[in-house]
Amino acid sequence: MSAPQRPVATPVRDRAAQRPASAPGGTLQEDKRGSKLEGTQASKQGARPGTTRAASPSGFMASGLGVALFSSAVFGLSGSFAKALLETGWTPGAAVTARLTGAALILAIPAIPALRGRWHQLRDNWLTVLLFGFIGVAACQLFYFNAVSRLSVGVALLLEYLAPVLIVLWLWAASRKRPRPLTVAGTLLSLGGLVLVLDLTGAVKVDLIGVLWGIAAAVCLAIYFFITAKENDTLPPILLASGGLMVGAIVMWLTAATGLLPMAFSTANTRLGPWITPWWVALGGLVVLATVVAYVSGIVAARALGSKVASFVSLTEVLFAVVWAWLLLGELPGPIQLLGGLLIVGGVVLVRLDELRAPSGTGAAALDHANDCEPVP
């Protein structure tokens, strides 16, 4: 099935089209921006403004869909790179600390120029950056890597992806208002998938502590969605990402300095698929590919598609993570666990679909975060 072909300016026009015609000033401004982008693109291609050219093959990437899939693919590498390091003697805390520190330093390069004349934005949003770094980055990653150290990469990530279901259950309990049927169906489907993923009666032994770590990562992800549910366009996503990574790195180093977090590194060679590689290959992949490149491409995709659509595409990360773990680690969940994984992802898709259909101002908005910046899995 061919991917949708859309010009670069489509997301701007789509957002303008979704606003009521009577919105004060908003539609006119968006229309001007959309027309300007369209006219610029047309003139670059040698066409007159207002004319439409046939979509080129590059439209797949220009639409944001290809970038979003690429982002999911490189995000999915994090578990495999991390586990390769853990198997040589690295502790989860050491792997997370090295990942956050390296990525924060690299992303500081574009972030510092972006702050020029915008330091007040960072000051006004310091609490968001702090909570993002502490919960969405440091805690979420530490819990996920602890889960990976005891479970297969696919099972650990599937447990983390229960976050939208946890949000639904919390909103249901807090408001005592029953969710719509599609959300209920998605929740029950995901919970049924969780039972299959755990495979309690099967031959595959699932580490209970690892399961608890995975659910803790899902809780952190759910909390982060609640924190950033409020619309906030004043802080550029690259500043949120770099600031959050820096905060997360500082938190990890301080926790290690107090002796609360075990920290052990190793320079032993790592195994990635059929290759024996130096330790820095896995660490470089974890920092550069699975963090920096993944974050930047994810931000670009979310800006092009919108955070809701991008969050749908990000569900393919589970598929990519399972494939990478199979290719690089020789891990593959059992048939029952794979079926459970499909049910979990299917349930989350139903919840997301119901969210898209929900009127504004409902509790489903907690699943949508405006900063277009997903927590690092």
Q: How far is CA 36 from CA 9, 12, 63, 151, 222, in A?
A: 9, 11, 18, 51, 38
From first to last of its 377 residues, the chain has per-residue pLDDT tens of 444 443 333 343 343 344 444 444 444 344 444 444 444 444 444 444 444 444 444 565 556 788 888 998 999 999 999 999 999 999 999 999 999 999 999 999 988 888 888 788 888 888 888 988 999 889 999 999 999 999 989 889 889 888 888 888 888 888 888 888 888 888 889 888 888 887 766 666 778 999 999 999 999 988 877 776 655 556 777 888 888 899 999 999 999 999 889 999 999 999 999 999 999 999 999 999 999 998 888 888 877 877 667 767 777 888 899 899 999 999 888 888 888 888 988 888 888 788 777 665 554 444 444 445 555 55
Identity of the amino acid at 84: A
Residue 238 is encoded by which pair of tokens? 């690259």
Joined together, the tokens standing for residue 89 give: 């003697």
- Eight-state DSSP code of residue 23: S
**Local structure of 163: helix, strand or coil:** helix
In angstroms, the CA 245 to CA 133 distance is 6
| Contact assessment for residue 210 and residue 143, using Cβ atoms and an 8 Å cutoff | no
> Distance from first CA to last CA of the chain, Å, rounded?
29
Helix 208-227 with 163-175: angle, nearest 10 deg: 70
User: What's the pLDDT score for residue 219?
Assistant: 93
On whether the pTM is more than 0.85, the answer is no
How far apart (Å, rounded) are the C-alpha atoms in residues 204 and 195? 13
Rounded to 5°, the CA angle 20-21-24 comes to 90
- Taking alpha carbons only, the member of 93, 89, 75 closest to residue 146 is 93
Strands (E), 140-228: none
What is the predicted pLDDT for the residue at 228?
63
pLDDT at residue 266, rounded to an integer: 94
Give the position of tokens 């209920």. 184
What pLDDT score does 324 carry?
93
Of 368, 374, 363, 370, the C-alpha closest to 183 is 363
* Domain regions of the chain by residue span: 88-367
Q: At what angle do helices 153-160 and 208-227 cross, to 10 degrees?
A: 40
In angstroms, the Cα distances linking 287 to 39, 95, 267 are 39, 10, 16
Distance between CA atoms of residues 237 and 245, nearest Å: 12
Cβ–Cβ contacts within 10 Å for residue 8, how many? Answer: 17
Q: 277 forms bridges with which residues in the sheet?
A: 270
- Determine the Cα–Cα distance for residues 312 and 302; give it in Å rounded to an integer: 11
Helices then strands, each counted (H, E), the chain: 19, 2
CA distance 355 to 367: 8
CA nearest neighbour of 344 among 211, 213, 215, 189? 189
